[in-house]
């Protein structure tokens, strides 16, 4: 199928130098930023609202509405969340590395719309090359007067600071990110009262937007909100970057319109299952999301609402595909271990609960599982995420704890027999010999 | 802030009217519903971390579990604290907490007073399903000389780290690592040497933080407990004395809303070992043939009474000197005051050791502040000692006012102080240069300071920042603020135990009990109760010492005082005590000043007698007795009453409570202050004068001061919390924390003197010299040399500001 590319167009057309200022300006770059300088805050907010742009960091919150929530106190700040750490997500990496100016122009537009004069781009510490590319882009923009005092010859000042994280998934949570930026431990803040739009960075009103989200902005201003809505499914507008990984022939990032099906994604776009194996399970929206199985979900459309109705989420668009050779307990343990490792430790249920879940799953995988262990896992999960609902009802400060529960729901709903087999066998029927990743 | 209308909240089906803006957990508690909790503490900001206080609240999208400690009450809120969902959440949290918690109860100090035990029993699941391996740590580890940390027991509630950051300003412990591996710990090579570390032990909800002093000493159900007010800090923080078998084992903070909010310094908390020291004087000692021998009370009192009679007959009241009385109760001080005037016939009496402000200013300034005035001031000016060292409980209140309540803090001090990081403005000056700086401020050369001092409500904490300042600077500062501010409140600072109670009872040459001047009118008021009073003008401590040296004064009564070590310039004291004809000491220990005395009478100490004491804001509180002191010790008032009998001039003080009754009738400012009041209606204490009237109302007077010395180095001598004072000397746990004979030098000055960190230097002033260990300290500005006062191994340097420093170690 032919898909109009939006945020990946430049890097696909010019794979060697899409990240440079020269190529960016040669392909229409920094025109919309200049236009934005001549628009009012209200005009910009309304345009983005009309485009229906949803946040691309995983929460899918309407970007225009987020901007309109900005409290009146000044100064206000803009923070770009480049902490991409959800397992299975690697699309922001590509945008940062291959088209940093696109994001930067989006930063400028967002800053103008929110009366921001200092923006921070927070990039996870494990992305040194993307960070270097972004810093080079920022430096080039400063050199041409596109950043600094009086950008593009106007009276508007805008400073941009690039900041590296130090290896914590939880710093992708916006208030933990803000804490990290301020030099504190990367721990989420209580909301209320610390909603960033009201009390964010340095307790000032702050907009936190994802890399992909702001990368869309120059294009929205260019084509107009209406044209943008026509690019995709009417409720999910624009295109959408999906990272596909796992047991497929062509893992990678794909810019797609909303509405294709999982079958199309896996078997057409991603080249089908490797070695011709059977699809066993897929994680639709990053490690936090409840799993899907082919018997139930293969024909579903990939949209935010269809995913939600099916009891999961599209999240940041990270698809992990598992074939028939995969031990589901081992996979579940691997995901739960990630969350236990990344828990910030502030609140009791997540700090103690995720590690407990990890230990039980490992015990089952290593052959010391008991018949009661799955019910134990579910009850411990219930004490983290009440009712095992999705979206979760938390006993915790942030959704990390409840995220760890998702794999366990999959074991309960689809792979109970595999758990039983581990218990009865006293070991893993798949007998993988390689060491854990 | 204007009073808001109460709001209606329904908790478990019952409607309550609760204060608007209050936290749900607090409002529930005040209305009879206890919500279990670990991380929440009434005196700190809520963090919602432990999740134990989850309750279900009806929201627009249905019932929600929220932490009641972070939820503010709203009108119409409907709360369930006991339904199935909440109970399951509570059991869940407890099971999670107990998952990695070691089964240490039989060997854990906290057992019996442990919130985790209590709530596991009341709200927990009864059994744990955790069969995996628990977290292990090396346990315990000392994180300071006073505190041990057991990370296995820690439930990561962050009470200790939050206290250290939010309340004490000593963020020396912090969470490290992440997730399940999170632990509380110190930073490398930086122990938890906070003056307030003991508070974390008290608020820790488990046995993770324990005290080296108290560890393994007792079970709480074995302890006898009695409430009292600490006397190391003139704020008199409220505390509870815990003892077993008549031996005091620990002090625990009690929340008094007016003063300490439950906190106290480590000196207050751990500084009681001297009470049980085997070196306490427990029998009267009489000098015979050059040696002090133990005698009975009758013989000792007879000897003293006889000498009193001789001296009084020969030379009259002027030949007596009474120094001390600042460490006893008000009842002790009143007895001493009456004894001096009635039995000795003298006004030569002073509880100060030539190191305090004027008696009238301390006792009876107009516009005296309450500690709570700090909370709603626009500006607070602190010009005096480093509060963290000399008034630690007050330091916490000032810190809170500046940090949480938006108060603008101005600090004036010769070097870095504990409040600098909360100060909007900090001014330094060289010791001896205080008056010059005050002139500068008055002339408008520091416009932001002047603007701050011209605010509507200004509170000034005025004290003597360093010995070179002299006693009149603080009063001049207070006078200046009174002229500038819309409305000024003054808190004169003095640091010795119950000095404010002592002055209120008339332990100064120019004061009589009840904030009355020792003039004819004052004497007339007392005549009915005390009879005729001496009219000769009394001498203060310095003049008394001079009199002893010259022989004009023949007999000295020293009550709980050690002038040789405790006076800024002790030369006079040494000469005086050497020359004195007859010295009687009422004290707890033999020390440098009473070692050569003729008679030492053993006194009761803190916790060994009932009485009252008056704190820095004029608040009278009841001190209670746990058990009588060792041996034949007796309260001061009892010794003096007996001595008066032996001397043929009885003063009729039959019991401490009767003394309090007498005080309430003869001391105008203490009208209405009876033990009953303090034990029932006024448990937080009562500020005198109750009715609001006192005859002496001292208006602070500004004087002209000396010029700043122009020498390259000026000497700043000031006290540190731990030193070689008599009580500290006999409290091993704290004595070893005293800085010792050190001198703080700015690195530039050190370089000029050729001194390196840790090397020995010689410090010389006009009136003293000694060898000290150099500490290079950027917080001590160039041109200023800081020597902590009265340290073990130290040497007195006098009060002159000019100083020379030369390196000894090459």
Cα angle, residue A348 at apex, residues A345 and A350 outer, rounded to 5°? 65
For A415, counting Cβ atoms within 10 Å of its Cβ (0-12 exposed, 13-18 middle, 19+ buried), the class is: buried
Compare CB distances from A376 to B49, B92, B129 and report the shortest one's residue. Answer: B129
What is the reported pLDDT for A97? 97
Compare CB distances from A351 to B47, B91, B179 and report the shortest one's residue. Answer: B179
Does residue A317 register a pLDDT over 90?
A: no
Distances in whole angstroms, Cα of residue B418 to Cα of each of A66, A84, B174, B383, B385? 43, 42, 20, 13, 10
Do the bridges between strand B599-602 and strand B582-587 make them parallel or antiparallel, or are there none, so unpaired? parallel
Residues A319 and A337 in one domain: no
Q: Phi and psi at residue B699, in whole multiples of 5°?
A: -90, 125
**Residue A418 tokens, joined:** 């595999």
Residue B409 CB neighbour total at 10 angstroms:
23
Cα distance between residue A206 and residue A75, in whole Å: 9
What is the reported pLDDT for B354? 87
* Sign of the C-alpha dihedral computed for residues B499, B501, B502 and B507 taken in this order: positive
* Sign of the C-alpha dihedral computed for residues A196, A200, A206 and A212 taken in this order: negative
Residues A207 and A310 in one domain: no
Do the bridges between strand B768-776 and strand B760-765 make them parallel or antiparallel, or are there none, so unpaired? antiparallel
Q: Are residues B423 and B410 in contact, defined by beta-carbon separation less than 8 angstroms?
A: yes
Compare CB distances from B156 to A351, A393, A394 and report the shortest one's residue. Answer: A351
Chain B residues inside the 8 Å CB shell of A352: 96-97, 99-100, 180
Three-class SS string for B548-604?
HHHCCCCEEEEECCCHHHHCCCCHHHHHHHHHCCEEEEEECCCCCCCCCCCEEEEEC
Residue A425 CB neighbour total at 10 angstroms:
12
Q: Does A393 sit within 8 Å of B132, measured CB to CB?
A: no
Residues A218 and A246 in one domain: no
- Mean pLDDT confidence for A359-382: 97
**CATH code, domain carrying A419:** 1.20.1440.230
Is residue A434 situated within a structural domain?
no
For chain A, how far is it from start to end, CA to CA, in angstroms?
A: 36
Residues A187 and A59 in one domain: yes
What is the reported pLDDT for A304? 86
Residues A34 and A178 in one domain: yes
Q: Does A363 sit within 8 Å of B178, measured CB to CB?
A: no
Name the residue in chain A with its Cα closest to that of B184.
A345
Residues A129 and A197 in one domain: yes
Does residue A79 register a pLDDT over 60?
A: yes
Q: Does B51 sit within 8 Å of A396, measured CB to CB?
A: yes
- Mean pLDDT confidence for A313-335: 94
Distances in whole angstroms, Cα of residue A410 to Cα of each of A33, A418, A425? 46, 11, 21
What is the reported pLDDT for B710? 87
Cα distance between residue A307 and residue B719, in whole Å: 69
Cα distance between residue A44 and residue B212, in whole Å: 64
Q: Does B156 sit within 8 Å of A342, measured CB to CB?
A: no
Residue B231 to chain A, least CA–CA distance (Å): 39
Is residue A32 situated within a structural domain?
yes
**CATH code, domain carrying A207:** 3.40.50.11540
Beta-bridged to residue B511, according to DSSP, are: B508, B517
Residue B103 contacts A, CB cutoff 8 Å: no
Is residue A437 situated within a structural domain?
no
Picking from A87, A88, A106, A86, the residue whose alpha carbon sits closest to that of residue A96 is: A106
**CATH code, domain carrying A291:** 3.10.20.600
| Tokens 């936090």 sit on residue | A288
Cα distance between residue B322 and residue B350, in whole Å: 7
Residues A221 and A364 in one domain: no
Cα distance between residue B402 and residue B417, in whole Å: 15
Q: Are residues B499 and B356 in contact, defined by beta-carbon separation less than 8 angstroms?
A: yes
Residues A48 and A110 in one domain: yes
Domain boundary residue, one of A256, A288, A323: A323
pLDDT digits (tens, 9 = 90+) for A119-143: 999 999 999 999 999 999 999 999 9
Is residue A134 situated within a structural domain?
yes
Helix axes A91-98, A128-143, angle to 10 degrees: 40
Q: Does the predicted interface ipTM exceed a cut of 0.85?
A: yes
Local structure of B7: helix, strand or coil: strand
Chain B residues inside the 8 Å CB shell of A402: none
Is residue A2 situated within a structural domain?
no
Does residue A236 register a pLDDT over 80?
A: no
What is the reported pLDDT for A1? 47
Residues A189 and A54 in one domain: yes
Picking from B794, B637, B774, the residue whose alpha carbon sits closest to that of residue B729 is: B794
Residue B48 contacts A, CB cutoff 8 Å: yes
Cα distance between residue B595 and residue B281, in whole Å: 12
What is the reported pLDDT for B469? 85
What is the reported pLDDT for B32? 96
Reported as type and span, the H/E element at residue B342 is none
Q: Does B99 sit within 8 Å of A348, measured CB to CB?
A: no
Is residue A277 situated within a structural domain?
yes
Q: Does A347 sit within 8 Å of B178, measured CB to CB?
A: no
Q: Phi and psi at residue B447, in whole multiples of 5°?
A: -60, -35
Segments of chain B scoring below 70 in pLDDT: 1-3, 692, 810
Reported as type and span, the H/E element at residue B241 is strand B238-244
Average pLDDT along chain A: 94
State the virtual CA torsion across A295, A299, A304, A310 in degrees, nearest 10: -30
Q: Does B49 sit within 8 Å of A347, measured CB to CB?
A: yes
Please list the alpha-helical segments (H only) found in A195-293.
211-215, 217-223, 225-229, 262-263
Residues A245 and A311 in one domain: yes
Domain boundary residue, one of A323, A344, A360: A323
| Region for B316 from its dihedrals, namely left if φ exceeds 0, alpha if ψ lies in -120 to 50, beta otherwise | left
Helix, strand, coil fractions of chain B, as percent rounded to 5: 30, 20, 50
Cα distance between residue B265 and residue B259, in whole Å: 13
Name the residue in chain B with its Cα closest to that of A359.
B132
Is residue A235 situated within a structural domain?
no
Please list the alpha-helical segments (H only) found in B485-613.
499-504, 520-530, 541-550, 563-566, 571-579
User: pLDDT tier at A235 (50, 70, 90 boundaries)?
Assistant: low
Mutation to test the A interface, candidates B21, B180, B183, most A Cβ within 10 Å: B180
Q: Tally the C-alpha atoms within 13 A of residue B306's C-alpha that lie toward its C-beta.
A: 8
**Residue A345 tokens, joined:** 């430790």
Cα distance between residue B679 and residue B33, in whole Å: 28
Compare CB distances from B178 to A344, A347, A353 and report the shortest one's residue. Answer: A344
A-proximal residues of B, 454-483, CB under 8 Å: none
Compare CB distances from B179 to A344, A356, A396 and report the shortest one's residue. Answer: A344
pLDDT digits (tens, 9 = 90+) for B194-229: 999 999 999 999 999 999 999 999 999 999 999 999
Q: What is the pTM of this model?
A: 0.95
For chain B, how far is it from start to end, CA to CA, in angstroms?
A: 62
Cα distance between residue A205 and residue A243, in whole Å: 32
Name the residue in chain A with its Cα closest to that of B100.
A352
Q: What is the count of structural domains for chain A? A: 3
For A201, counting Cβ atoms within 10 Å of its Cβ (0-12 exposed, 13-18 middle, 19+ buried), the class is: buried
Compare CB distances from A348 to B96, B133, B175 and report the shortest one's residue. Answer: B96
Instruction: Transcribe B701-721 into DSSP letters.
Output: -----PPPP-SS-EEEEE--S
Residue A197 to chain B, least CA–CA distance (Å): 19
Q: Which domain holds residue A261?
A: 240-323
Compare CB distances from B51 to A345, A355, A395 and report the shortest one's residue. Answer: A395
Residues A44 and A149 in one domain: yes
Residue A119 CB neighbour total at 10 angstroms:
25
Residues A191 and A338 in one domain: no
Domain boundary residue, one of A272, A297, A323: A323
Local structure of B675: helix, strand or coil: helix
Residue B276 CB neighbour total at 10 angstroms:
17
Compare CB distances from A383 to B96, B132, B175 and report the shortest one's residue. Answer: B96
Chain A residues inside the 8 Å CB shell of B178: 168, 170, 342-345
Radius of gyration, CA atoms only, chain A:
22
Cα distance between residue B725 and residue B689, in whole Å: 32
What is the reported pLDDT for A56? 87
Q: Does B182 sit within 8 Å of A352, measured CB to CB?
A: no
Beta-bridged to residue A394, according to DSSP, are: A385
Is residue A435 situated within a structural domain?
no
Helix axes A416-425, A328-342, angle to 10 degrees: 100
Which stretches of chain A sit within 8 Å of chain B by CB? 168, 170, 185, 190, 340-349, 351-356, 359-360, 363, 376, 382-384, 386, 393-397
Q: Does A348 sit within 8 Å of B179, measured CB to CB?
A: no
State the virtual CA torsion across A41, A45, A51, A52 in degrees, nearest 10: 170
């Amino acid at each position: 199928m032919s898909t109009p590319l939006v945020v990946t167009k430049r890097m696909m057309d010019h794979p060697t130098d899409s990240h440079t200022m020269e190529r960016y300006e040669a392909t229409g770059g920094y025109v919309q930023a200049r236009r934005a300088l001549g628009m009012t805050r209200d005009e910009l907010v309304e345009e983005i609202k009309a485009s229906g742009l949803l946040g691309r960091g995983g929460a899918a919150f309407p970007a225009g509405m987020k901007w309109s929530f900005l409290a009146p106190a000044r100064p206000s700040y803009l923070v770009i969340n480049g902490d991409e750490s959800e397992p299975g997500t690697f699309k922001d990496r590509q945008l940062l590395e291959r088209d940093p100016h696109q994001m930067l122009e989006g930063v400028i537009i967002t800053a103008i719309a929110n009366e921001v004069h200092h923006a921070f781009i927070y990039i996870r510490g494990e992305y040194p090359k993307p960070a270097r590319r972004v810093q080079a882009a920022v430096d080039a923009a400063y050199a041409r007067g596109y950043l600094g005092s009086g950008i593009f010859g106007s009276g508007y000042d805008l400073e941009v600071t690039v900041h590296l994280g130090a290896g914590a998934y939880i710093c992708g949570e916006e208030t933990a990110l803000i804490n990290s930026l301020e030099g504190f431990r990367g721990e989420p803040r209580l909301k209320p009262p610390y909603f960033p739009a009201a009390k964010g960075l340095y307790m000032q009103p702050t907009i936190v937007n994802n890399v992909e989200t702001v990368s869309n902005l120059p294009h929205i201003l260019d084509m107009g909100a209406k044209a943008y809505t026509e690019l995709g499914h009417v409720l999910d507008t624009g295109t959408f970057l999906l990272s596909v990984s796992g047991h497929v022939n062509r893992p990678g990032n794909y810019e797609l319109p909303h509405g294709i099906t999982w079958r199309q994604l896996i078997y057409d776009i991603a080249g089908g299952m490797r070695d011709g194996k059977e699809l066993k399970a897929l994680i639709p929206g990053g490690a936090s999301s409840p799993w899907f199985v082919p018997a139930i979900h293969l024909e579903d459309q990939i949209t935010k609402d269809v995913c939600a109705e099916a009891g999961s989420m599209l999240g940041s668009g990270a698809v992990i595909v598992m074939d028939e050779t995969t031990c589901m307990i081992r996979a579940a343990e691997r995901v739960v271990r990630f969350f236990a490792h990344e828990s910030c430790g502030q609140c009791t249920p997540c700090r103690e609960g995720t590690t407990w879940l990890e230990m039980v799953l490992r015990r089952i995988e290593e052959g010391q599982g008991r018949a009661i262990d799955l019910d134990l896992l579910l009850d411990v999960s219930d004490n983290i995420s009440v009712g095992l609902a999705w979206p979760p009802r938390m006993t915790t400060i942030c959704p990390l704890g409840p995220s760890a529960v998702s794999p366990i729901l999959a074991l309960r709903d689809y792979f109970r027999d595999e758990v039983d087999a581990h218990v009865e066998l006293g070991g893993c029927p798949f007998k993988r010999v390689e060491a854990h990743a | 802030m204007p009073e808001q209308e109460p709001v209606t909240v329904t908790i478990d089906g019952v409607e309550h009217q609760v204060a608007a803006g209050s936290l749900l957990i607090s409002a529930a508690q005040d209305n009879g519903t206890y919500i279990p909790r670990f991380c929440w503490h009434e005196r700190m900001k809520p963090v919602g971390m432990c999740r134990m206080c989850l309750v279900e609240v009806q929201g627009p999208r249905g019932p929600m579990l929220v932490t009641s400690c972070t939820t503010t009450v709203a009108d119409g809120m409907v709360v369930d604290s006991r339904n199935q969902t909440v109970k399951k959440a509570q059991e869940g949290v407890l099971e999670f907490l107990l998952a990695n918690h070691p089964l240490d109860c039989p060997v854990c100090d906290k057992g019996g007073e442990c919130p985790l035990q209590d709530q596991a029993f009341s709200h927990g699941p009864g059994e744990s399903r955790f069969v995996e391996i628990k977290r292990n740590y090396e346990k315990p580890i000392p994180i300071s000389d006073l505190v041990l940390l057991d990370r296995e027991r820690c439930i990561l509630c962050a009470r200790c780290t939050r206290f250290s950051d939010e309340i004490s300003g000593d963020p020396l412990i912090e969470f490290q690592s992440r997730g399940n591996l999170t632990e509380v710990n110190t930073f490398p090579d930086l122990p938890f040497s906070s003056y307030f570390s003991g508070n974390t032990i008290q608020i820790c909800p488990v046995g993770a933080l324990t005290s080296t002093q108290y560890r393994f000493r007792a079970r709480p159900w074995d302890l006898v407990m009695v409430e009292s007010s600490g006397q190391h800090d003139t704020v008199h923080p409220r505390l509870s004395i815990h003892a077993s078998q008549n031996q005091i084992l620990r002090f625990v903070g009690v929340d008094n809303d007016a003063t300490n909010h439950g906190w106290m310094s480590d000196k207050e908390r751990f500084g009681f070992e001297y009470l049980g020291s085997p070196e306490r004087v427990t029998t009267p000692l009489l000098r015979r043939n050059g040696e002090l021998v133990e005698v009975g009370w009758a013989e000792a009192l007879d000897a003293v009474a006889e000498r009193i009679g001789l001296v009084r007959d020969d030379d009259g009241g002027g030949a007596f000197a009474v120094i001390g009385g600042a460490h006893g109760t008000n009842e002790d001080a009143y007895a001493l005051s009456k004894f001096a005037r009635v039995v000795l016939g003298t006004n030569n009496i002073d509880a100060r050791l030539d190191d305090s402000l004027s008696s009238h200013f301390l006792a009876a300034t107009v516009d005296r502040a309450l500690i709570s005035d700090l909370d709603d001031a626009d500006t607070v000016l602190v010009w005096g000692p480093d509060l963290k060292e000399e008034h630690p409980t007050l330091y916490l209140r000032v810190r809170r006012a500046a940090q949480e309540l938006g108060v603008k803090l101005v600090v004036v001090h010769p070097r870095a102080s504990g409040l600098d990081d909360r100060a909007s403005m900090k001014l330094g000056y060289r010791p001896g240069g205080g008056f010059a700086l005050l002139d500068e401020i008055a002339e408008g050369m520091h416009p932001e300071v002047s603007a701050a001092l011209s605010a509507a409500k200004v509170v000034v904490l005025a004290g003597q920042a360093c010995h070179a300042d002299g006693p009149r600077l603080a009063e001049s500062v207070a006078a200046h603020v009174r002229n500038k501010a819309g409305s000024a409140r003054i808190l004169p600072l003095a640091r010795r135990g119950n000095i404010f109670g002592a002055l209120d009872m008339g332990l100064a040459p120019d004061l009589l009990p009840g904030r009355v001047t020792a003039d004819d009118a004052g004497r007339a008021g007392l005549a009915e109760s005390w009879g005729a009073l001496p009219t000769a003008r009394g001498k203060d401590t310095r003049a008394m010492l001079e009199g002893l040296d010259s022989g004009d004064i023949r007999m000295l009564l020293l009550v709980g005082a050690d002038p040789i070590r405790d006076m800024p310039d002790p030369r006079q004291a040494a000469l005086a005590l050497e020359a004195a004809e007859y010295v009687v000491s009422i004290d707890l220990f033999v020390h440098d000043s009473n070692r050569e005395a003729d008679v030492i009478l053993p006194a009761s100490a803190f916790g060994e007698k009932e009485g009252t004491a008056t704190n820095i804001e004029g608040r009278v509180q009841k001190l209670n007795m746990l058990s009588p002191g060792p041996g034949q010790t007796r309260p001061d008032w009892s010794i003096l009453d007996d001595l008066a009998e032996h001397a043929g001039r009885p003063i009729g003080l039959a019991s401490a409570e009767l003394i309090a009754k007498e005080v309430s009738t003869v001391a105008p400012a203490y009208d209405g202050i009876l033990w009953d009041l303090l034990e029932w209606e006024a448990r937080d204490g009562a500020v005198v004068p109750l009715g609001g009237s006192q005859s002496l109302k001292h208006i602070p007077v500004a004087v002209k001061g000396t010029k700043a010395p122009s020498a390259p180095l000026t000497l700043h001598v000031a006290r540190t919390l731990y030193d070689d004072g008599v009580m500290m000397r006999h409290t091993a746990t704290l004595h070893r924390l005293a800085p010792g004979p050190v001198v703080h030098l700015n690195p530039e000055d050190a370089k000029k003197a050729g001194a390196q960190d840790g090397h020995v230097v010689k410090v010389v002033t006009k009136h003293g010299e000694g060898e000290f260990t150099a500490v290079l300290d950027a917080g001590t500005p160039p041109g200023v040399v800081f020597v902590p006062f009265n340290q073990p191994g130290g040497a007195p340097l006098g009060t002159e500001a000019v100083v020379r420093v030369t390196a000894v170690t090459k």
